[in-house]
Amino acid sequence: MCLNLRLLDAMVVLSALTALCGEAAAANWQPVATYQGERVEIDKTRIARIGDGKTMAWNRLMLGREESIPNSKDKYSTVQALNRYDCEKGSFATTKRVFMRDDKVVSQETIDSPKEMTAAPGSVDEKLLLEACKKRTVGEMQKVADAVGKLAGGAKPEAEKIAEAPPKAMYADMRSATETKAPTTRKVQSPSYIKHAEAPVSSRKARRNQPAAALAELERIHWGYEGEGGPANWGKLRPEFATCASGKRQSPININEGIRVDLEAIKFDYKPTMFRIVNNGHTVQVSVGNGSSINVMGKRYDLLQIHFHRPSEERVNGRGFDMVAHLVHKDYEGQYAVVAVLLETGGEHPLIQTFWNNLPLEVDQDLAPNVAIDVTRMLPESRQYYSYMGSLTTPPCTEGVLWLVFKQPAQVSPEQVDIFSRLYRNNARPIQSANSRLIKESR
């Protein structure tokens, strides 16, 4: 649980979290997701805040079978991982992994330079992050205090009884679904150290009816905007992408027939910030520092990142635009709000030019320019907007997203559009059915 540092010193908590990995009496494993016999869980008694909006938590993956460690006679059936979560940024890093068989530790490894990764929307990683970051009751906090006290009193956990020698090969980085490599030749896809997110029942049934070879071929294809991995096939590529095909509140939509009302003003509280920029293979994405937010409909959403599509994904009364900028926000409960700034050809956009000046030379090259930006310069002068409920416009197409689309477009120069088009000729998802959704617009 999120233990307040006023109750226990942070270093004591971290020491306890690291050492208690094998002590069954201290654990309270709660399921987060299951898939084909595999189960992902989080230990609610070993979650602790460590300050600066960060939390440490133990998670585990129960395989339901045994796997061999290469170049070793040892086998394991459970992987436990100590993750550090950044609750504000929505990211995590694995700092330690423990491999177990029959509740006994067979090997473990401490990661000296853990890689920070974003918890993808709708993924098991995001579910674990939300569970690790949410507020706890006093009773839950007392459990971890008791566990720490037991450790301090001399209890020696199973994990401390073996040497800290990592196996010669393990799950490489236990990273995202499309990047994970397994220690055996069996193809595995897993967010973090997780194998599969739980798929909807309809998706599981459909996949069981497909030949194994066809499934393997689908899982080989990476999602994109054309060809076999294009939008028409997104829902077939992964179980966790099923909502892309079956969802009833998908985005983008053609915004028309909205009701004209006095919509509340969106309260923007954007701070000057440094930024990171990456061409991630789907778009140019700009991640910003902490502290910028919006307030709307009684909720605060923190700004995470800005990315771009060409042409605009949204249409207004059937009209498309040259580009669109999506400003992605998330609240404490993990719900998303996206502010869309439509872009039409005209004068040069100063902030976009700053981004283009710092474009990485390679795909997936993440740069941190020594330049501060004011994100309010991304917004048009008029703050009137359309509002509707939709989804993320990229897999896994998570629904429940609040969309706030400015009525007034901002201008971008032909040269700036051409620069982006040299990277992405078309990275816009086609229009989705509105399904009689209520659309509001400022009058």
Distance in angstroms (rounded) separating the CA atoms of residues 237 and 189: 12
Distances (CA, A) of 245 to 63, 106, 202, 435: 29, 42, 11, 14
DSSP H or E run through 139:
helix 138-152
Task: List the catalytic residue out of 282, 309, 329, 349.
Answer: 282
The yes-or-no answer on residue 282 being catalytic is: yes
Query: What whole-number distance in Å separates Cα of residue 307 and Cα of residue 328?
Result: 8
Cis peptide leading into 311, omega within 30 of 0? yes
Residue 41 forms beta bridges with which residues?
Answer: 31, 60
Residue whose C-alpha is closest to residue 126's, from 377, 374, 304: 304
The label of the residue with tokens 């609610």 reads 44
Instruction: Report the alpha-carbon distance of residue 162 to residue 175 in Å, rounded.
Output: 26
Q: What angle do CA 71, 76, 79 make, to 5 degrees?
A: 115
3-class secondary structure, 9: coil
What does R_g of the chain's alpha carbons equal in angstroms?
23
Distance CA 267, CA 131 (A): 28
3-class secondary-structure state, position 19: helix
How many Cβ atoms sit within 10 Å of the Cβ of residue 137? 9
Catalytically active residues are: 282
